[in-house]
Amino acid sequence: FAGTVGAGECVRIMTGGAIPKGCDCVVRQEDVREEGDAIFVPFTSQPFENYCYAGEDIKKGNLLVRRGQRIRAAQIAVLASEGHADVCVHRRVRIAVASTGDELLQPGEPLRPGKIYNSNLYLLAGRLKELDAEVTVVGSVPDDVERAAEVIASYADRVDLFLTSGGVSVGKKDIMHGVVPALGAERLFWRVCMKPGAPAIAYTCGRMLGIALSGNPFAAYATFELMARPAIARLAGETDVLMPRRRAVLADTFPKPCHGRRFLRARMEADGRVSLPDQHASGSLFSAAGCDAFVDVPAGTKPLAAGTEVEVVIL
C-alpha cells in the first residue's frame, strides 16, 4: 500500500510488511471482526503495538558470525537474512583412518580362531563423518612396521590427519613405536595419564598430524573423543574445541577406586542425574552404545557412591 492512512482508517497488510504512512499500530487479523468495509476492534490498541522495528534483531555493525565459529543452520539463516549468498569458510578437514593388526577381519567374513572383526575402523570412520570431516577409509594395516609406514607416508601430502587404532602399547606387535621413526616423524607424546587409552601416540609427519589410539574398542572411543576430536576441531579452524562439562549427581555406584584419572562411560538422565552401565572394560563396546557422556574421575578417588556429585563431559 503506497498511500497514506488517515485517522479512523485501516488497511490490510501482510505479516512482516512495511507499515503504511499515517499508521501508528498493527492489530492482528484474528483479533478483529470484519463487516463489509469496516472492522471492529474489541479492545483499545496501543501506539506502535505489534511493530517490528528496523534493527531490533540485527543492528548495523553487529557481528553475524565470529571467526572460528562452526556454521550451523541458525548461522546460515542469519547470513541469508542479511542477503549474504556466499561467505568464506574453512575447508573440511581431510582425514585418513586405518586399523592395525593381523587379527582383523572385515564384517561379513567368516570368523576364524584368533581373529576379531574390525569394529574400530567403523567406529572411527562413523564418528568422523558425523563430525563432517572428509574421510578416507584406508582399511586394515598389517603388523609390519615397514608396510604400515609406507601406507601412512603415502597420505602425508593428502590429508590433515592420519588416525589409527592399535599398535601403541608395549607388545611385540605394537608397531606404531617403530612406524613413527620410520616415517621420519616427530613424536609429540606417548602415554597420557588417563584410563582407558593411556598409551595413545601423537606425532607430526610434515604438515600431517598423526594420532594413534589404543586398539581396545572403548579406549579408542574415549581417546578419540577426548584427544582427536578437539584436534580435529582446531584443524577445522574452530576456536571453541573442548567439549562442554557440567556437574551432576551419580545415579549409580562405581565400586572400584581410581588410582589414576579415569573416564567412565555414562548417560545423562532426564532428571539431571548421570547413570553408569554395569560394564566398564576397555574392550567392551556394547555398554557404550547408549552413552552420551563421560564421568571424569580424578586420580586417587575412592569408590563412588550413588548420590556423589561428579564432573561430567558431555559428548
Does residue 113 share a domain with residue 217?
A: yes
Instruction: Please answer whether residues 192 and 185 qualify as being in contact, where contact means their C-beta atoms are separated by less than 8 angstroms.
Output: no
Does residue 75 share a domain with residue 19?
A: no
Which residues is 137 bridged to in the sheet?
97
| Domain membership flag for residue 131 | yes
Radius of gyration of the CA atoms of the chain, in A: 29
Does residue 83 share a domain with residue 98?
A: no
Does residue 173 share a domain with residue 106?
A: yes
Boundary residue ending a domain (175, 206, 235): 235
| Domain membership flag for residue 46 | yes
Boundary residue ending a domain (235, 259, 287): 235
Q: How far apart are CA 65 and CA 63, in angstroms?
A: 6
| Domain membership flag for residue 216 | yes
- The amino acid occupying position 118 is N
Measured in whole angstroms, the distance separating CA 114 from the mean position of its chain's CA atoms is 35
Show the domain range for 192. Answer: 94-235
pLDDT at residue 55 in the model: 87
Give me the chain's average pLDDT, please. 95
**What's the CATH code of the domain at 291?**
2.40.340.10
**What's the CATH code of the domain at 110?**
3.40.980.10
Does residue 105 share a domain with residue 124?
A: yes
**pLDDT tier, 274 (very low <50, low <70, confident <90, very high otherwise):** very high
Residues near 3 by Cβ (< 8 Å), separated by ≥ 6? 11, 20, 21
The closest of 231, 259, 257, 226 to 243, measured between CA atoms, is 226
Does residue 136 share a domain with residue 76?
A: no
pLDDT at residue 311 in the model: 98
If you search the block for the grid coordinates 612406524, which residue do you land on? Answer: 179
pLDDT at residue 108 in the model: 94
Judged against a pLDDT cut of 90, whether residue 165 lies above it is answered with yes
| Domain membership flag for residue 293 | yes
Q: How far apart are CA 267 and CA 247, in angstroms?
A: 13
Q: How far apart are CA 100 and CA 225, in angstroms?
A: 19
Q: Pull the grid cell for residue 74.
A: 541458525
Does residue 269 share a domain with residue 223?
A: no
pLDDT at residue 158 in the model: 97
The closest of 73, 69, 128, 119 to 96, measured between CA atoms, is 128
Judged against a pLDDT cut of 90, whether residue 297 lies above it is answered with yes
Does residue 167 share a domain with residue 123?
A: yes
Does residue 206 share a domain with residue 101?
A: yes
pLDDT at residue 44 in the model: 87
Average pLDDT (15-33) is 91
Q: pLDDT tens across 275-291, in order?
A: 999 989 888 888 888 89
Q: pLDDT tens across 92-146, in order?
A: 999 999 999 999 999 999 999 999 999 999 999 999 999 999 999 999 999 999 9
Evaluate if pTM is beyond 0.75: yes
Instruction: Please answer whether residues 90 and 68 qualify as being in contact, where contact means their C-beta atoms are separated by less than 8 angstroms.
Output: no
Instruction: Please answer whether residues 187 and 132 qualify as being in contact, where contact means their C-beta atoms are separated by less than 8 angstroms.
Output: no
Residues near 265 by Cβ (< 8 Å), separated by ≥ 6? 218, 222, 276, 277, 280, 287, 288, 291, 294
Q: What percent of the chain has pLDDT over 90?
A: 86
| Domain membership flag for residue 240 | no
Task: Provide the number of structural domains found in the chain.
Answer: 4
Average pLDDT (224-249) is 96
Cis ω for the linkage preceding 196 (within 30 of 0): yes
Q: pLDDT tens across 184-212, in order?
A: 999 999 999 999 999 999 999 999 999 99
Judged against a pLDDT cut of 90, whether residue 85 lies above it is answered with yes
Does residue 102 share a domain with residue 225?
A: yes
Burial pattern 134-145, b for ≥16 Cβ within 10 A else e, equals ebbebebbebbb
Does residue 137 share a domain with residue 204?
A: yes
| Domain membership flag for residue 155 | yes
pLDDT at residue 37 in the model: 87
Does residue 221 share a domain with residue 110?
A: yes
- Region of poorest pLDDT, from 44-48, 65-69, 85-89, 234-238: 44-48
**pLDDT tier, 67 (very low <50, low <70, confident <90, very high otherwise):** very high
